[in-house]
Structure 1
Amino acid sequence: MTKMLINGILRDKPAQTDGRFERLPSRFRGWIQTHGDAEFPAEPNRYHLYLSKACPWCHGVDLVLSIKGLRDMISITWMDPVMSESGWVIDQKAFDPAHGVPRNRYLYEVYQRAAPDYTGAITVPVLLDRKSGGIVSTESADIMRMLGHAFSDAAGPDLLPKDLRQEIDRLADLIQNPIRNGVYRAGFATSQTAYCDAVTKIYDTLDILEDLLRDRRYLAGDRLTEVDLKLFPTLLRFDPVYVTHFKIDRARIADYPALSRYVAELAARPEIVETIDLPHIREHYFRSHRHINPTGIIPIGPMSLYALVAPMKGVA
């Protein structure tokens, strides 16, 4: 049973009665800003992230860190690949006490310490203000955007150029519910109607993206932008995980020539490939969601995009 915090206490999350999976909204929506009197000023080495290498929402945040050269400014605590009945487990082997945050076993303890009366989901990413001990944001799209622009000393390309912002936002809206949320709505559906509705919307939108990418190198044009970093993590996981685990099997990304080219080109970039850990991703999904995969067996996987990306990471 999925857990959440209710008035600061770990409880079972109430089940949806219509068989549909709905993501709870983020309660923490603070913003790192550049002006001096901001609640969360853009100070290097002040902020800390709790991330999972498996989670596509976290992957987008990690991509911004990598592409913008922010790894020396913002520290990270990583999650173990396998979740427990109490939710996300913090990877104790990777934990670094030098980051200045307490050592916890579970992510929900971070929420309890930062907001003792919190009611809501226990999700990653979490952006923490080490100075106040409070949570800045748990909304991945906000975190990606603020990290992409708050730190003037950061290197890397402008991920939100002014001349493309309207198109970037349009595309982000296009992919958000049908694709990024849609794979979970399909995988966690508990009724045939909810599942079929989610899957239909996924493939309708993939068809739109396939047509778009026949004429564009990247989603918004000839430049890598923020919206590419939102879509790529979901497409990367599609064939190796979602086709099997979430029963999204009408077609694979490998069956779409333009989408396949797009994913392969992005995965070949050094600052992107360093963020990919396919064995970790697959272990997380197939061994954490026991209500979907009770045996915890990890399937061998398709020789499509998985085989394409794996050699770049030295995977046997």
Structure 2
Amino acid sequence: MPDQGEFKRDTNYISDRITADGRDGWPVEPGRYRLVIARACPWANRASIVRRLLGLEEVLSMGLCGPTHDERSWTFDLDPGGRDPVLGIERLQEAFFARYPDYPRGITVPSIVDVPSGQVVTNDFKQITVDLSLEWGAYHRDGAPELYPEKLRDEIEDVAEKVFQDVNNGVYKAGFATSQEAYEEAYRALFARLDWLSERLAGQRYLVGDTITEADVRLFTTLVRFDAVYHGHFKCNREKLAEMPVLWAYARDLFQTPGFGDTIDFGQIKEHYYVVHRNVNPTGIVPVGPSESGWLTPHGREELGGRPFGDGTPPGLPPVGERVPALGS
């Protein structure tokens, strides 16, 4: 079938897993691995949220790439000397090439790197967060929530797959479409799914069950970027998130929940999209707005019941070196 201007995401990732039994050769070990993310990236943001919620900061360190990159890879330009202080590399690409010298695909975040060898283990963003829940359980903090409960997994994956196709990836399908037809198809699918989500969430506080799950994490990272980036930059402009009452309240509820909003850096998010995507924004000018003040306003979602952490407790403050700027700063 000829190209119709549709955006096609490469979903072939390094599929090795870090597991409790080490069956892929990568056993769970405190201090052995480093999670590499960028604050700007929604896929990486998932991993930073789950790591926070589960309290894995002391056993799985985190490296932070800057918000922009070139065609070669993400860089550690936020660190002194432009090198990750643990891995000693300037580019995430170096960890991929350390394992696969001719690695042919994109260098993506999140990635987990084996510190002793300097080799990337996996960049499979979907499996990474699931395994943080299921395989790293011996090192979860006291009071960690159950984000991927067995009895709800089928429903979580069903909802999350719909969200991935039409929302998480849907905004990219709209933004990177190269034909009017492909753009409009993605646009319609996106807002039809957002309407579906609004109906689902009008009567329940969270997507699946009465506590936060993996499904909420996956949706949140797109919603939190919607008005700052996707509405204008990706032409997803039927309405802003702030004009969709149910989803706006739901997103604010999560943002104000420890582990969610404290991973968000709106400055880095905007810089990434508007500077890197020169095919979409040739000038590279980064917008000043929108205002961030609304994220901390009351949301009223407590009236729907639900217990954010189930029988668990909220995480404490992020480590000092991982704290994001206050809103509006």
TM over 0.5: yes
Distance 1:285 1:97, change over 3 A: closer
Distance 1:49 1:251 in 2: 35
Partners of 1:310 and 1:87 in 2: CA distance: 34
Q: Relative to 1, partners in 2 of residues 1:17 and 1:110: Cα closer, same or farther, differing over 3 Å?
A: farther
Which of 58, 65, 71 does residue 51 from structure 2 map onto?
A: 65
Match of 1:136, SS state, is: strand
Aligned residues: 297
Which 4+ runs in 1 deviate beyond 6 A?
none
Q: Which amino acid aligns with 2:115?
A: R
Hey, what does 2:108 align to over in structure 1? 123
3-state SS of paired residue (1:49): strand
- Report the secondary structure of 1:244's partner residue: coil
Partners of 2:49 and 2:234 lie apart in 1 by 24
Match of 1:23 among 4, 9, 14: 9
Cα distance between partner residues in 2 of 1:38 and 1:59 = 25
**Separation in 2, partners of 1:142, 1:17:** 30
Separation of aligned partners in 2, 1:72 and 1:158: 19
Aligned counterparts, 1:164-203, within 5 A: 164-203=152-191
Q: How far apart, in 2, do the equivalents of 1:107 and 1:153 lie?
A: 26
Query: 1:99-133 CA deviation, whole Å, 9 max, x = no partner?
Result: 2x2322x3323222221122212211111122444
**Which residue of structure 2 lines up, in the alignment, with residue 12 of structure 1?**
none
For the residues of structure 1 that align with 2:252 and 2:187, how far apart are their CA atoms?
24
Which residues of 2 match residues 218-297 of structure 1 at below 5 A? 218-297=206-285
Cα distance in 2, alignment partners of residues 310 and 80 from structure 1: 26
- Cα distance between partner residues in 2 of 1:85 and 1:98: 23
The one-character-per-residue Cα deviations of 1:56-105 (angstroms, maximum 9, x if unpaired) are: 00000000111011111112221111222434222242667652x2322x
Q: How many Å apart are 1:37 and its aligned residue?
A: 5.6
- For residues 4 and 88 of structure 2, what CA distance do their matches in structure 1 show? 40
Shift of 1:310: 7.4
Aligned-residue CA RMSD (Å)? 2.0
Q: 2:290 matched to 1:302?
A: yes
C-alpha separation between the residues in 2 aligned to 1:98 and 1:80? 14
Structure 1 residue runs of 5 or longer lacking an equivalent are 1-15
Distance (whole Å) between structure 2 residues aligned to residue 85 and residue 118 of structure 1: 14
Q: Residue 91 of structure 1 aligns with which residue?
A: 77
- Contact kept? 1:26, 1:138, Cα under 8 Å: no
TM-score by length of 1: 0.88
Please say if residues 33 and 42 of structure 1, whose CA atoms lie closer than 8 Å, have aligned partners that are also in contact. Answer: yes
TM-superposed CA distance for 1:287, in Å, is: 1.3
Cα deviation for residue 270 of structure 1 reads: 2.4
Q: Contact (CA 8 Å) 1:267, 1:273: kept in 2 or not?
A: yes
Structure 2 partner of 1:313: 326
Identity %: 36
Amino acid across the alignment from 2:326: K
SS of match in other structure, 2:263: coil
Report the 3-state secondary structure (helix = DSSP H, G, I; strand = E; otherwise coil) of the residue aligned with 2:260: helix
Displacement of 1:216 after TM fit? Answer: 0.9
* Residue of 43, 59, 64 corresponding to 1:78: 64
